[in-house]
Amino acid sequence: MLRDALTFQLGYNATLVTVAAVLLGIAAGVTGTFLFLRKRALVSDAIAHATLPGIGLAFIALALSGHDGRHLPGLLAGSAVTAMSGLFAVQWLSSRTRLSEDAAIGAVLSAYFSLGIVLLTVIQTMSTGRQAGLESFLLGSTAGMLLSDAILIALGGLLVVALVFLFRRPMSLVSFDPGFASTSGVRLDRIDLTMMGLVLGVTVVGLKVVGLILIVALLIIPPVTARFWTDRVELVVILAGAFGGVAAWLGAGLSASAPDLPTGPLIVLVSFCLFAVSMALAPRRGLLSSFVRHRRFQAGVHMRQGLLALAQGQPIYEPLTIRLLKARGLARADGMPTREGTIRAARAFRDEKRWEVARATPELELAAARYDGLTQIEDVLTVDQIAEIDRRIGPPEAVQ
């Protein structure tokens, strides 16, 4: 069943939903990257919640003028208008008052959302028909999605991706160093507005699929996941799009194969699973690799200190150090070095001395900054440089 869903074999509606969701997922991941890097991720939550009054007002306007109140483009246009006013409210509050941005977000988000809920309640009492289902914009609803809806979502998603590609350089410049960006001629206010405009576009387009409460997850989780795997902006953007797309594909597939499960929340849960796996297993930035690296480094430092102590005939007090030396056959249980241990200790001692000279030599100072207690100086300096150091500290002493 799931396989059918994932290969688009589950019928017309399921296929429409999946294609629309995947494009939305990609667009959201790509856009969210810059939001995350600019450290304004939660502004998107305010924007999303500010769509609700717009939906209500648009429905009322449509219904009163004798149209079908659930005309999707009309509702989305209305949601965009109030979302934009919510965005400006956050920006005005955080730049013109002493309120910080997070406080401004909290105030705007809750006020707009409350207004939206009140409007939806009012709509329930209206005599115009077909008002049922407006609340589906809260959590999304893909049942009965029309081809025109899917095309709207797809085109919106493509447009967003194209604009992100066009503005990728100024957006990453502004995210990293706004001061430098502005002296390079980047108009900060315009780029920030573009960034937020794209977020607004994704939010509005995503209302039908995941709803306004969960859209923030699609914008934030994929970039955060991608960040675990790479140290380059371009790759974070691409991976975030990929993770967003994959999560949407799997989530929509799951919901299509088990009819009563909601699409939006499933997409978010799949996205979170990708995040959790990445956090645990990613190389370098993942938890497991940080833990292993830390333990390895700790062991290395203990070994080094132990060997230096042995070389100078000093006693070793730390049990971990003795245990490590013993495990490698370099020392006996009483802390006395084995023959191998004596040789390794002399070598470590010499390496340490060479580093010491390097640190005191101005030309080698930068290289010497790479000292971490583990790196051999042979890996940092050239043979000639080491020969020069050795000339200064004299020949190695023979090990008895």
Partner 1 sequence: MQARLEDVTMRDVRERATRGSPLVIRGMTVAYDRKPVVFSVDATFRSGRITGIIGPNGAGKSTLLRAALGIVKPLAGQATFFGRTLAGSRDRVAYVPQRASVDWDFPARVVDVVAQGLYRRLGLLGRFGRDHEDMVMSALERVGMEDFSARQIGQLSGGQQQRVFLARALAQDATLYLLDEPFAGVDAATERAIIKVLKALRSAGRTVVAVHHDLSTVEEYFDDVLVMNVRKISDGPVGTAFTTEALDTAYGGRLERGMRDPQRARA
Residues that bind partner 1 (CB under 8 A): 37, 39, 166-167, 169-170, 172-173, 175-180, 182-186, 227, 230-233, 235-236, 362, 365-366, 369
Given 3-state DSSP classes, what are the helix, strand and coil percentages for the chain, each rounded to the nearest 5? 75, 0, 25
Least Cβ distance, residue 196 to partner 1 (angstroms)? 19
* Residue 376, C-beta contacts closer than 8 angstroms, at least 6 positions apart: 351
Least Cβ distance, residue 275 to partner 1 (angstroms)? 16
Both tokens of residue 47?
């924007």
As a whole number of angstroms, the distance between CA 72 and CA 59 comes to: 10
Of 195 and 270, the one with the shorter C-beta distance to partner 1 is 195
CB 54 within 8 A of CB 268: no
Least Cβ distance, residue 187 to partner 1 (angstroms)? 11
Axis crossing angle, helix 12-37 with helix 168-176, rounded to the nearest 10: 40
Of 75 and 236, the one with the shorter C-beta distance to partner 1 is 236
**Span between the terminal Cα atoms of the chain, in Å:** 74
Least Cβ distance, residue 26 to partner 1 (angstroms)? 19
* Residue 109, C-beta contacts closer than 8 angstroms, at least 6 positions apart: 45, 46, 49, 50, 86
Of 57 and 389, the one with the shorter C-beta distance to partner 1 is 389
Least Cβ distance, residue 395 to partner 1 (angstroms)? 29
Of 125 and 183, the one with the shorter C-beta distance to partner 1 is 183
Of 1 and 166, the one with the shorter C-beta distance to partner 1 is 166
Of 60 and 174, the one with the shorter C-beta distance to partner 1 is 174
Of 176 and 297, the one with the shorter C-beta distance to partner 1 is 176
CB atoms within 10 A of CB 327: 11
As a whole number of angstroms, the distance between CA 392 and CA 360 comes to: 12
Least Cβ distance, residue 22 to partner 1 (angstroms)? 25
As a whole number of angstroms, the distance between CA 300 and CA 88 comes to: 54
Least Cβ distance, residue 179 to partner 1 (angstroms)? 5
| Nearest residue to 251 (alpha-carbon basis) of 229, 221, 286 | 221
Least Cβ distance, residue 186 to partner 1 (angstroms)? 7
Q: Count CA atoms closer than 13 A to 96's CA, side-chain side.
A: 6
Least Cβ distance, residue 229 to partner 1 (angstroms)? 10
Of 240 and 310, the one with the shorter C-beta distance to partner 1 is 240
CA–CA–CA angle 15, 21, 22 (5° rounding) = 90
Axis crossing angle, helix 168-176 with helix 188-206, rounded to the nearest 10: 110
Least Cβ distance, residue 197 to partner 1 (angstroms)? 16
Q: Where do runs of H (alpha helix) occur along 177-283?
A: 178-183, 188-206, 211-227, 233-257, 263-281
As a whole number of angstroms, the distance between CA 254 and CA 5 comes to: 7
Of 277 and 366, the one with the shorter C-beta distance to partner 1 is 366
Of 295 and 359, the one with the shorter C-beta distance to partner 1 is 359
As a whole number of angstroms, the distance between CA 61 and CA 45 comes to: 26
Residue 362, SS3? Answer: helix
